[in-house]
Amino acid sequence: MKGITVPWILTIVAALATLPLLTASNVVLNFLIVTLLIALVAQGWNVLGGYGGQYSFGHAAFFGTGAYVTAIMQMRYGVNAWAAFAVGIGGGALVGAIIGALTFRSGLRGSYFALVTLAFAEVLRILASVAPLTGAGVGILIALDLRPQAFQFQSRAPFYWIILALVGVSLVVVRMIEQSRFGAWLVAVRENEDAAKALGVNPTRVKFAAMTVSAAITAAGGAFYAQYYLFIDSGIAYGSWISVEALLAPIVGGVGTVLGPLLGALVVKALGELTKLVTGDTPGLDLVVYGGVLILIVAFAPNGITGLLTNLRGHFMRLRARALGRSDG
């Protein structure tokens, strides 16, 4: 499968960009903003986990760093919100580099790698819950200032376009990785690290680079979260909820594909809304249905949504070929 090309990505993004012009519903816009935010965070995870095969359980470490750096820069040092956003991404990438350097050098793989990332995220969460810099238990509230200069907007639409742009960039970046030699190395490491090494690929360096890119993308999501909700604390920034969201969407959507995280985020979030609608107000029931459907999705789409679509396309092609073949005889 060739994969989705950049012109197609731009078309999809452009189509999605028209949405605020078609609907005035803030319910829908908010839903999409949250979905795109998860898609961004998930895309970060996908670079390392989907393409690199290194499943991380601790992507909260990057999300939270992006969020906190942005918030601290603004509230403690009076830095402009947009500059703080950029620094937040940088901070996340730095944390990714550090964790990558430590873990990959020790040769940690598979479940060990996954659990050590979880441990790093937890360490950061605990530190953030006691350190005065991050506001300790009280958290950080970014001052309300509804001006574009402060990266806050009266209407939801600008937030939507910004997160859409970020997602678009991440899609293009991942597509470019997919097409590049680096991408080939990454996939080689995923498929068989020792064989890749034998062929001259440096797995440690490749994984390290992937981790840094992955962290930067996820950190962008974290920084955006801080600007959108204006309040973060250690549980929100570094909590396991975001680590789970980060891996749930790509696996459901299809790991190692460009559109997988986006599709997965859409499906997962839409499922959440649907179950709430269908089950009414009884606490817990909607989530029971949600969990059940999740299991069913995995059972029937083991390669994610993109896998399902590929299969369907294959079926369709075969049917078409058969139909065409029959027309001769």
Partner 1 sequence: MTQFSRVSRRRFLQSTALIATAATTGLVNAPAVLRAQGAPVKLGVLHPVSGALSYSGQQGRLGATIAIEEINAAGGIKALGGAKIDAVLGDAQSTPEGGNAEVEKMNSAGVAAIVGGYASSICLAASQTAARYDLPYVVDVGVADNIVTRGLKNTFRFGPGFGVIAKTALDNLVALNDQAGKPAKTVMIVHEDSLFGSGLAKLLNAQLPERGFNVLETMPHPTPTRDFNNVVLKIKAANPDIVIPADYYNEYVLLARTMQQQRVRPKAIYSVLGGAASSYKFVKEFPEAAQYIMDCNHWFDPRNPKALALRKKVEAQGQFYTYEVYMNYSGVLLVADALQRAGSAERAKITAALESSTFSGHVMPYGPTKFVNGQNTGAAPANTQVLGNDIQVILPSTFATAKPVFPMPA
Partner 2 sequence: MRASFYAALAFCGRMLSPIILVPAVLNGLLTGAVYALVALGLTLIYGVLHIINFAHGALFSAALFAAFFAYRLLGLDPYIAAILLTPVFFLLGYGLQRFVIGPAAHGEDRNILLVTLGLAVVIENTLLYAFRADTRTVNLDYAFNVIDIGVAFLSVPRVIAFGVALVVALVLWLILTLTDTGKAMRAVAKEKLGAELVGIDVVHIYAVTFGLGTACLAIAACLLLPTYYVNPHVGNAFVLVAFTIVVLGGMGSVTGSLLGGMFVGVVESLSGLYLGESLGQIGIFVMFILVLLFRPSGLFGERA
Can you tell me which of 235, 294, 303, 310 binds partner 1, judged by CB under 8 A?
Answer: 235
Report the DSSP beta bridge partners of residue 232. 140
Residues 6+ apart with CB under 8 A from 44: 59, 62, 170, 213, 214, 215, 216, 217, 218, 219, 220, 221, 246
Can you tell me which of 55, 68, 151, 224 binds partner 2, judged by CB under 8 A?
Answer: 55
Nearest to partner 1 of 178, 286 (CB atom):
286
Residue 90 to residue 40: CA distance in whole angstroms:
16
**Contact region for partner 1 (CB under 8 A) — 26-34, 112-120, 293-301, 310-318?**
26-34
232 φ/ψ sector (left φ>0, alpha ψ -120 to 50, else beta): beta
Under 8 Å between Cβ of 62 and 83: no
**Contact region for partner 1 (CB under 8 A) — 6-14, 19-27, 41-49, 55-63?**
19-27
Q: How far is the CB of 57 from partner 2 (least distance, A)?
A: 8
Q: How far is the CB of 239 from partner 1 (least distance, A)?
A: 9
Coil, strand or helix: which one is 167? helix
Neighbours of 20 (CB within 10 A): 21
Nearest to partner 2 of 29, 259 (CB atom):
259
Binding-site partner at residue 288 among partner 2, partner 1, none, CB < 5 to 8 Å by type? partner 2
Can you tell me which of 11, 291, 312, 322 binds partner 2, judged by CB under 8 A?
Answer: 291
By CB atoms closer than 10 A (0-12, 13-18, 19+), residue 200 is: exposed
Footprint of partner 2 (CB under 8 A): 55, 102-103, 106-109, 111-112, 114-116, 118-120, 122-123, 126-127, 129-130, 244, 247-248, 251-252, 255, 282-285, 287-288, 290-292, 294-296, 298-299, 302
